[in-house]
Chain A
Amino acid sequence: MRTPRFGPLLVGSAAAALVLLIASPLPAQQGAVITGRVTSARGEPLGGASVVVANSNLGAATAANGTYTITIGAEAARGQQVVLTVRYISYRPGTRTVTLTPGTQEQNFELQPDPFRLEEVIVTGVADATDRRKLSFTVGSVGQQELQQVPGASALVALQGKVAALRLVPSSAQPGGEPSIRLRGATSISGRQDPLYIVDGVITRFGLGDIAPEDVERVEVIKGAAASSLYGSDAANGVVQVVTKRGSSLPDGALRVTTRTEAGINRMPKRMQFSRSHAWEIDETPGYCVATGLAQDDPSTPADESEAWTVAPNANYCLNEDDARITKPDGIADNPFPVYYDHWNAVVDNGAFWTGYVSLGQRRGNTNFNVSFQNTRNQGVIFGLGGYTRQNFRLNLDQQLHPNVDASFSTFFGRSTNGRTEEGQNGPFFTLMFLQPDVDITACCNPDGSPYVARVPLSGDVANDQNPLYELANRHIQNDRNRFTGAGRLRWRVRDWLSAEGSFSYDQEGVSFKDVRSFGYLTSSGTTTNGTLTDTTKNDWQSNSALTLTSVRRFGNITNTTKVGAVFEEQRNRMLTTLAGELRVGGVPEQEAADLSSVDPGSWDQRIRNTNYYGITTFDIKDRYIVDALVRRDGSSLFGPESRWATYYRLSGAWRVTEDVGIPLLDEGRLRASYGTAGLRPGYDNQYEILAVTPAGFRTEILGNPLLKPARSSELELGTNLEFGSGRYTLEYTYAQKTTKDQILLVDLSAAARNELGQGGFSQQWQNTGALRSRTHELTFATRLINTPTTNLTLNIVGDRTRQVITEWDLPARLYGFQQMPATFFLSPGSDLGVLYGNRWIRNIDDLYDDPAKDALSGPGETWSRDSVMFNEDGYVVRRNQYGTSSERAIKYAFCKRTDAVTGNCLETSEVVQIGNANPDFNLSFGTTLNYKRLVVNALLDWSKGGDLYNGTRQWAFQATRDRVQDQAGKPQNAAACGTVTDPMPACPQKKLGYYGVGFYNGLAPNDYFVEDGSYIKLKELSVNYTFVRDQLQRIGLGALSELRLGFIARNLFTITDYSGLDPEVSGLFGDPFQVRMDWFQYPQFRTFSTVVELTF
C-alpha cells in the first residue's frame, strides 16, 4: 500500500507560509545607510563589484559608475562594528571596519589588481558563502573569464586542465556526447565515477549536456568525501556545481545584451592506417594462372560476385574451381592491391559547426535577471550523419520582494536532435576494419535504388565485411531530447543573523530514440531483409524540496555560521522500448507496421525517494582559525529495507599561518585538514529479488538483499595554500587519501545457492563487499610572468598523481570486458584498479622456464632446450624449427599458478598475467594567457604521462589481414635463407599470415601486443581574441556597441604521442571509462577551427 507523502507539498506550503509571515508591514524606524564608490587603483569605476557586510545578509552591487548604497534597518543598526568587504573579479578585496549607526556614512574603496583572484566566494560544500581563503578543504573554481575564452561543446568540457585532479575522458566524441569526469581517484570498483551535478543549487540527475556553456558564470568543484559530506550518500565521487548567469554581477542599472556567434569546421587530425598488400595468388600474365592451371579472375564476367563491385581489371587473381581466390603458398602479404580505395577517407568527412547565442541581462534596484537563447549545430566528421542540433532558452530572475525577503526563479528549456551512428562492434567503424581495399564502396547503387552498394565481396577470411557507407546512408538513428527545469527559491532574513530559505525545483527530461533499418534493408550479401525498428522513449522527472535555516553570529573574535536543513528528493524514471525485428511494408517505419511476432518490448518504471537532514557549523576564530563540522542523515529508497538510513559527517580545520607568523616573502599561507565521509547509492533495483522474464516465463536470477547499503567513502585531505611574491605566485598543494568500503558489487552465487525458504536458482546478488583506496597528490600553481600596465602573461599549472588499489576483495579474481572486447580488466585484492591482464609474449628466454612443463623439457636435446628457441626480428622468442615458416609464432608466457603444498608439484599453470596499467603516472596541464592591450591569447596544453591503452580496434583488423604491420611489401626478403636458421640471423623479416593473423590476433584474447603507452602531450585549446571597445567602435560608426570581440579558436590542435590509434584520449564504450581504456571502434575525436564574433550592447 502506498503511503501519501507530504514532504514536497509541505515544503512548498512552508515557503508560502514564510511569505505570509513576512507580508506584514514592518514598523518604520531610522536605519543606517552606507554609500560610496569603488574604483580601481587607476581611478576607473568598477561596476558590478560586490559590497557586503561580513557575517550578515546585507550587501549591494555597484552601479556602472562604481557607486553603491546599502540600507540597514534600525533593528540591525545598533552601533556595533562590522566589517565591510568589497570584492571584484581580478582585484584584491578591500575590507574596512565600520560602525553601524543610524544615518548615512560614505565608504569609498580603491582596489588593487590581482589576476589570480578570479572568484573569491565559494558556495559549494559550505554552510554559507565563504571567502575561499577561509576554506578548510579544497574547492576548485573556474570563473566566467576562463570558461568563456574557449567554451566547450558542453559546460564540462571547459573544465579540462583548469582544476587539479579533475580528469575528463570523452566516452564518445560523437557530437552531443557528454564527457565522463573523475575527481581524484576512483571510488567505485565496478561503477562509474561521475560526480553529483548541481545547477544553481539544485541537484540534477540528467546531466549537464543540455546547458549552454555561454550561460555558465562559474563552476565549483569539490572532489571527495572530505569536502562533499554535506551532500551525503550520493557525493563520494565529489560534486560539480554550475552557477549560471543571473545578471547579479552586472553594474547596478546596467542592461547588457550580448550576442556571440561561433562558426567553424571539424577535421580529423589523424587517419587510420591499413595494409596495402595482400597474400592472394596472382599471375602477372593475364588470362591463365600457372599455379592452378585455371583461368584468372575475369572482371568482365559476372560469375564471381565480387566482380560486381571490385574494380580490379589488372588484378590477375588466381581462382580455384569455385571461383574463389587462393592464398599463395608463401602466405606473405606483399602483393600490392591493384586498386586501392581509401575507405577511411570515404567514411570520414569534414563537417561544420555553428553556435549562435544571445543573452540579455540587467540589474536594476531590487531586480536582476538574465535571459538567453542558444542555437547550436555540429555535423561532426562522419559521412552522412545528421549531426547534433540544440536550442536552449534560459531565464534567471532574482527579485527582492521585501527588504528582508528575496525570491529567485529559474527556468530552462532545451531541445536537441541528434542524427548519429552506432559505435562499437555493431557500427560502421567496426565493419570498416575488414573491408578489402579493392572494393569500391562508393559505387552506386543497389537494385532498389538505395545509395552505396550493400553487397560487398567476402574478403575470403571473414564475414564481418560490410559497406559502412551503405549503413551510414540507409540506417537512421535519431536521438531527440527535451529538457525542462524550473526552480524557485525564497529567502527570508528573519534577523540580521538568521535567515530561512525554502526552495523547490522540478527537472524533467524526455528522450525519443529511434533506430530504423527500413523495409528492404540489404545485408552485405545483398539479401533483402524486412528491416528493423527500435523505438525508445524515456520520460524522467525529479523534484527537490529543501528548507534551511542559517545563522551567522559573532561572539567576540569568533564568528559562527550554522545551518540546518532538510532536503526531499523524488525521482521517477520511465522507459518504454520496443524492438521490431521485422517490418511489413516499406516507407512506414512504425511499430504498427511491424510483424507483431517479431516485436520485443521492454520497459521500466522507477521511483526513487530520498529524505536527507543535515546540520553544519563553522567557527571563524580571529579570521585565522577555521573549524568546521557537519553531520548528515540520509534515508533513501535505494537502500535495502534493513539499511534505510546512513549517517555522514565531516570535521575540518584551517589555520591561516601568516596571520600568526610572519614569513618572509609569503603573503598568505594556510594549512588545512579535513576528514569526511560520503556515499555511493546503489542502483534502483539492486536491493530487489528479481526473476528474469523470458518470452516463455520466468527464471530466477537475482537474490534480493535487504541489507544493501550505500558504499561508504572516507577521505582525509591535507593541504596548503600559499601566496607569495606580492601576489605574483600562488600555490595550492593537496594530498588526499580516500577509502571506499562496502562497494556495491554484483556477486556470482553458487549454482546450489538457495534462500532461507529453500528456493534456488539465483545466480547473482548485489552485495556490499570490497574496498578501494586511492591516494592523490594534486598541485595548482599560478604565476604572473609579465605584469605591466599593457601586458599580462599568466601561467597556470595544474597536475595530479593518483594511485588506486583494491584493498579488500573477498570474491574470486575477476576479468571483465564488454561486447566481444577482450576481457582485459582485472579485479583482485591488492590489484591496482585499471590493471590489464592477458597473455604476454615472451621476449626473454629465461621466462620460458617459468612454465613447469617447458622447464621439465629444457635439457640438452629436449623439446624446450635453450637452443630450440631463438629471437626473431621483432624481439620475440620463437621456436627455432618454426622460424620463417607459416607456423612461426611468438610464445605466450606461462607460469605455475598453484603448487601442491606437500609435493611442490605444479597443480595449475596460467597464461594470464598483468600486461598493463591504465593509470597514468601523472597528469599536468599548462594554461597560459597573454593579455596585450586588448589582444588575448589563450592556450591549454595537456600532458598525461604513462598509462596503458588496449587497442582492440587494431586487434580485430589482424583477423582480416588489414592492419598496417601485416603489410610485408618492401620488407627485406631472402627466400633462400628463410626458414634456415643461421647465426647471425638471415635477413628474412617477412612474416607469413599466421604470424599476425593467428598469433598476435590470439583468437581475440587479450595480449600485450596491443597494449600501448597512452602518454600524450596535447594542445587542447588555442584562442586569439581581440576586443574593440566603445571608443574604437565609435570611430568606425559602431557606437551603439560597447564591445566587439573577434576571435579565432582551435580545439584539439595537435597531439604528440606514440599511441598508434587515432587518439590516446580513448576509453571503452562501456563501464568505467577511466578503467576500461579500450580502443573499440569509437567515433573518432576531431579537431575544430572556428571564428568568433561577440557583440556587447
Chain B
Amino acid sequence: MLRLWSPATVLAAVLVAGACDLNVENPNAPDAPRAFRDPSGLEGLMSGAFRTWVETRGDYFGVMAMTAMADNYTASWNNGALRFYSSVGTECPSRCGWNNSAVADEAAGGPSVETQWYGYYSVLAAANNVLLAIEDGVCFDGDCTADSTVTTRNTAIVKMMQGMALAGIALVYDQGFIVDERTPPGPPSSLPFYPRAEVRDSALQKFEEAWTIAGDATWDTPSEWMGVGSGTSYTNTQIRQLIRTMQAELIALSPRTSAENAAADWAQVVTYASQGISSGTPFDWEYYIDISGRECGLDCVKTWGNSIGTMRVDTRLAAILTTNHVDPWPDPSGNPCPTISPDQRVGDGSYGPTDDFNGYSTIAYTGNEGTDFACSGAAIFAPARGQYHQSNLQHVRYQRLAYRGENLPGFNGTGQDPFYTVQMNDLLWAEGLLRQPTPDPVAAAGLINNSRVTRGGLSTLTGAEGIPALLAALQYEQEIEFMGQGPTPFFNRRRSGFNGTLPGGTQTGADRVYVDGLIVGTPRHMPVPALEMDGLGRATYTFGGSGPDMAPSAAGGARRSVWDIWQEYMSLRRNLSSSRH
C-alpha cells in the first residue's frame, strides 16, 4: 500500500503546496501609487508635464502642418501630412480641411488633429493629479502646512499648467473639456464640451489663480523642470511675468478672423503684456533641449524649420523679407542668392563656414549673414509636388536646434529653446496699445523698435507714422519674431485681415485667394479628434476644405462608448471585491 499511496501523497502535497505566488509586482514602470506617494514622484510628474507641453507646442503631426498652412514654413515632404495639408489646389479644390478620421493615416492627416488634443489634456491631467495630492495633504519638503513654500510653489506651477493646457485647447480647437481637480470622477461621456471662448476664459482663470498664488511666497523653480542638464531656474516673479505673457497671448491669438480680432479685449492684452516677460527685468522663457530630445524628439517645428534640407521659408514671407525674392517661386531657377534686404536678420543670406555647405548651394559667411535667415541655391523639393513649395530662403535663427545643429560648428541639435521671447511679449503689448480703444502709438512704436531696430537694424519708428503703418510694421515684426514658435504663426495669420489674390503659384497656375490671412479652404481651428468622438460615441465633424472653415460643431450621435465598457468592468470589479469581504 505504501508504494501505491506514496506517489499519490506526494502528488497531493505538490498540488497543495506547489502553487506559486501569482502576484508579481511590476518593477519596470512606476504606477500612480508608487509615483505619487512621495513628493519627488509628484514633482517628476510636473517636470514630465512641462516636457509634454513643449512636445505638444512643437508637435510633429499637427503643428508643422499648421505652420505650412499659414504659409510660414513650406515643404513638400508629406511627413505629418505636411504636403497634404499645404498643397494648393491639388489634393483638394484649394486647401484640404482637417481629415478628422480615426482611420486616416499620417499621410492623409489622420493624427494631425489628435496630438495636440491628447498632449494638452495630458498636461492638464498631470496638473490635476498633483493638485489632488496636494488636497490630500502631501508634504513636499517635510513642512506639512498648507502654506509651505514648496507646496505654494508647486500649487502655483500646476495651476499655471492648467492654464497652459486649457489655453492650448482654446487656441487650437473649437471646443473642449474643462476638467480640473474639483471635477467629480465620472465617465467622460458625461462631461460636456465647452465652446472655445469658455475654455479660454477657464484658462485665464487658472492663470489668474496661479499668478495670485505665485505671489504668496518667494521661491525658485528647479532648473531640471526646464530641461535635463541645463534647464533654467525661474523665480516666482519671473513665473508671474510668464503667466501674464501667456494670458496676453491667449487673448491676442484666440481670434479666428479679423472680425474676432477687432473684438478682442486689447486693453486687457495691454494690462497683461505690460506685466509680462519684457517688463521689469526682461527674460526669455526657455526650455533646454537635451540630447534625448533633439532631432524632433521635442520641438519638431524648430528642428524641421531650421533644417536647410527639410523645411524652407514660404515665398510669401520671403518676398516680404527681401527685395529680390518673389512670390510665387519663379520657375525654373527660383529666387537668387545672395539675398538683398535692409533687415540684418536677413542679411545677404550667406551661410556656413564653406561654400555649398552640406551640398545645399549656399554661400559661405561673408560677415553680412543674417541672424535669422539664409539663402540656398538648391531647390530641394520635387517640382512635380507643387512649385509653390519651393523656396530659396531658410530659417536659421534656431539652427542649433535643427538636425544635429545642421553640422555647423558648435551646434549639435541641443540648446536653449525659447518658447516665449521678450520680442514676442513686446509685440503683443504693442498690438494691444494700437488696437485698444485709446491707442498709444508712441509707446507701441517703442516696443516694435525693440525688435525692428535692435535685431533688424531697420529705421526707428516714432509713432507718428499712423496706426495703419504701425500695424503693418508690427505685422512684419510678428512674421519674423513668431516664426518657429509652434503654431503661433498660424494663430497670427488667421486673424491678420489680409484678403486678396496672389497671381499664380499653384500647381495648376490658378491664383491663390486669401481670406483673413489664410488661403481659401484653410481651416481656422481644429475639431475634436474623431478618435475622441468615436470613443465617446459621438458624431465626428471637421473644418476646412470645401466645408466651413470654423463653423460651430455638429451635434453628436450616440453609441456605446469605450468608457461605458470600462465602467462595466469596474462595476464587475467592485462586485467581485465586495463579495470577498
Interface pair A305/B179, CB less than 8 Å apart? no
Within 8 A of B (CB), among A566-618: 566, 568, 570, 581-582, 595, 597-598, 600, 603-611, 613
B560 at the interface (CB under 8 A from A): yes
Per the bound structure, the CA–CA distance linking A157 and B497 in Å amounts to 68
- What is the 8 Å Cβ interface bit string for chain A, positions 817-842, against chain B (1 contact, 0 not)? 10010111010000000000100000
Tell me whether A976 is interfacial, beta carbon within 8 Å.
no
- Which residues of the other chain, A, contact B17 by a CB distance below 8 angstroms? 6-7, 10
Report if A898-B539 is in contact (Cβ < 8 Å); known contacts: A810-B562, A887-B507, A993-B384: yes
* Pair B565/A810 contact, Cβ less than 8 Å: yes
The residues of A that contact B361 with a CB separation of less than 8 Å are: 322-324
Known: A327-B332, A749-B563. Is A757-B51 also a contact (CB below 8 A)?
no
Assess whether A636 is interfacial by the CB under 8 Å rule. Answer: yes
Q: How far, in Å, is B36 (CB) from chain A's closest CB?
A: 8
Q: Which of B11, B228, B404, B534 gathers most chain A CB within 10 Å?
A: B11
| Chain A binder among B121-129, B431-439, B448-456 | B121-129
Q: In the complex, what residue of chain B is closest to A822 when comparing beta carbons? A: B105
Q: In the complex, A492 Cα to B6 Cα: how many Å? A: 12
Contact with B along A691-708 (1 / 0, CB 8 A): 111111111100011110
Query: What is the CB-to-nearest-CB distance from B169 to chain A, in angstroms, rounded to a whole number?
Result: 9
Chain A residue nearest to B15 (CB atoms) is A566
A70 on the B face (CB < 8 A): no
Distance of A455 Cα from B563 Cα, bound (Å): 53
When distances are taken between beta carbons in the complex, the residues of chain B under 8 Å from A17 are 6, 10
Q: Determine, out of B235-243, B247-255, B373-381, B515-523, the stretch whose residues face the partner at the interface.
A: B373-381
Among A458, A762, A889: residue with most chain B CB under 10 A:
A458
- Asked if B20 is at the interface of the complex by the 8 Å CB criterion, the answer is yes
- Taking a contact as CB atoms under 8 Å apart, the answer to whether A570 and B177 are in contact is no
A910 contacts B384, CB within 8 Å?
A: no
Pick from A329, A463, A748: contact of B531, CB under 8 Å: A748
Inside 8 A of B572's CB, which chain A residues have their CB?
Answer: 707
Query: CB distance B18 to A812 under 8 Å?
Result: no
A5 interface residue, CB < 8 Å from B? yes
- Min CB–CB distance A679 → chain B (angstroms): 15
What separation, in Å, do the CA atoms of A82 and B557 have in the docked complex? 73
State whether the Cβ of B290 lies closer than 8 Å to any Cβ in chain A.
Answer: yes
> A500: nearest residue on chain B (CB-CB)?
B7
- Interface segment, one of B39-47, B137-145, B201-209, B459-467: B39-47
Q: Which residues of B contact A750 (CB under 8 A)?
A: 188-189, 532, 535-536, 561-563
The complex places the Cα of A495 from the Cα of B530 at a distance, in Å, of: 68
Q: With contacts defined as CB atoms under 8 Å apart, how many contacts are there between chain A and chain B in the complex?
A: 388
Instruction: Please report the C-alpha to C-alpha distance between residue A461 and residue B381 in the assembled complex, in whole angstroms.
Output: 5
**Are B51 and A568 in contact, with the CB atoms below 8 A?**
no
A294-330 interface code vs B (CB 8 A; 1 in, 0 out):
0000000001010000000000000011111011010
Kindly state whether residue A474 has any CB partner on chain B within 8 Å.
no
B329 interface residue (CB < 8 Å to A): no
> Does A698 contact B332, Cβ atoms closer than 8 Å?
no
Q: At the interface, yes or no: A35 with Cβ under 8 Å from chain B?
A: no
Task: Give min CB distance, B380 to chain A, whole Å.
Answer: 7
Given A320-B332, A529-B404: A597 in contact with B291 (beta carbons within 8 A)? yes
Q: State the Cβ distance, A632 to closest chain B Cβ, in Å.
A: 13
CB of A292 within 8 A of CB of B384, answer no
Contacting B at CB under 8 A, from A488-536, are 492, 494-495, 498, 500, 523, 525-527, 529
CA distance A455 to B228 in the complex (A): 34
A987 CB to nearest B CB, Å: 23
B122 and A761 contact, CB distance less than 8 A: yes
**Closest residue on chain B to residue A1003 by CB atoms:** B78
Q: Say yes or no: B122 contacts A763, CB within 8 Å.
A: yes
Q: Do the beta carbons of A908 and B569 come within 8 Å of each other? A: no
A582 touches B291 (CB 8 A): yes
Can you list, as one digit per residue, whether each of B549-580 has a CB less than 8 Å from chain A (1) or not (0)? 00000100000111101100110110011000
Residues of B near A1093 (CB, < 8 A) are none
**A641 with B23, Cβ < 8 A, contacts A326-B333, A685-B28, A812-B531 known:** yes
Complex Cα–Cα for A547 and B7 (A): 10
Q: Is B28 in contact with A597, judged by CB distance below 8 angstroms?
A: no
Q: Of the 9-residue stretches A661-669, A724-732, A994-1002, A1013-1021, which lies at the interface with chain B? A: A994-1002
Contact A812 B535 (CB under 8 A): yes
Query: Contact between B29 and A609 (Cβ–Cβ < 8 Å)?
Result: no
Closest partner residue, chain B, to A960 (CB atom): B382
Contacts of A526 in B (CB 8 A): 358-359
Selected from A598, A747, A815, A1003, the residue in CB contact (under 8 A) with B81 is A1003
Separation of A700 and B124 alpha carbons in the complex (Å)? 11
B512 at the A/B interface (Cβ < 8 Å)?
Answer: no
A811 in the interface (beta carbon within 8 A): yes
Question: Which chain B residues lie closer than 8 Å to A146 at the CB level?
Answer: none
Q: Interface segment, B96-104, B263-271, B471-479? A: B96-104
Q: Does B3 contact A (CB under 8 A)?
A: yes
Contact A758 B132 (CB under 8 A): yes
Min CB distance A1083 to B, Å, is 25
Question: Quick check: is A959 within 8 A (CB to CB) of the other chain?
Answer: yes
Q: Does A928 contact B (CB under 8 A)?
A: no
Contact in complex: A635, B19 (CB < 8 Å): yes
Most buried by B among A22, A700, A705, A907: A700
Residue numbers in A under 8 Å from B108 (CB-CB): 911-912, 1003, 1005
CB-CB < 8 A to A1036: which residues of B?
Answer: none
A882: nearest chain-B partner, CB-CB: B508
Q: Are the CB atoms of B14 and A326 closer together than 8 Å?
A: no
Chain B residues with CB under 8 A of A886: 384, 507
Give the shortest distance, in Å, between A567 (CB) and chain B (any CB).
10
Contact A322 B378 (CB under 8 A): yes
CA distance A606 to B10 in the complex (A): 31
In Å, the complex CA distance between A3 and B90 comes to 66
Q: Mark A1025-1056, 1 if CB is under 8 A from B, else 0.
A: 00000000000000000000000000000000
Contacts of A1006 in B (CB 8 A): 105
CB neighbours (8 Å) of A810 from chain B are 560, 562, 565
Give the shortest distance, in Å, between B415 (CB) and chain A (any CB): 13
With beta carbons under 8 angstroms apart, the residue of A5, A598, A1003 that contacts B84 is: A1003
Residues of A within 8 A of B81 (CB): 1003
Whether A754 contacts B125 by the Cβ 8 Å rule is yes
Q: Could you tell me the distance in whole angstroms from the C-beta of A479 to the nearest C-beta in chain B?
A: 23
Q: With the chains together, A611 CA to B15 CA distance in Å?
A: 9
- In the complex, chain A residues whose CB is within 8 Å of the CB of B102: 812-815
Say if the beta carbon of B217 comes within 8 Å of chain A: no
Could you say which of A600, A693, A817, A908 contacts B29, with CB atoms under 8 Å apart? A693
Contact B14 A761 (CB under 8 A): no
Contact A642 to B563, CB < 8 A, known contacts A637-B24, A692-B29, A998-B385: no
| B570: min CB distance to chain A, Å | 7
| Chain B residues positioned under 8 Å from A529 (CB to CB) | 404
A767 within 8 A of B: yes
Cα of A905 to Cα of B546 in the assembled complex, Å:
15
18 contacts between A and B (CB under 8 A): A11-B14, A320-B334, A327-B384, A331-B384, A455-B359, A691-B31, A691-B35, A705-B569, A706-B573, A748-B531, A750-B188, A752-B191, A754-B125, A756-B570, A761-B125, A811-B534, A811-B562, A812-B535
Interface residues of B (CB under 8 A from A): 2-4, 6-8, 10-11, 13-15, 17-24, 26-32, 35-36, 41, 43-52, 78-79, 81, 83-84, 90-91, 101-108, 110, 117-118, 121-122, 124-126, 128-129, 132, 177, 179, 181, 183-185, 188-189, 191, 224-225, 227-229, 290-293, 309-310, 332-334, 336-337, 356, 358-359, 361, 376-386, 404, 407, 412, 507-508, 530-532, 534-536, 539-542, 546, 554, 560-563, 565-566, 569-570, 572-573, 576-577
For the complex with contacts A694-B51, A749-B535, 20 further pairs of A-B residues with Cβ separation under 8 Å are: A3-B21, A21-B6, A455-B359, A523-B407, A527-B358, A566-B18, A581-B292, A611-B19, A688-B31, A690-B30, A695-B290, A696-B44, A696-B47, A699-B45, A749-B563, A760-B121, A823-B110, A889-B90, A907-B539, A911-B108
Smallest CB-CB A-B distances: 4 pairs: A322-B377, A761-B125, A812-B534, A823-B105
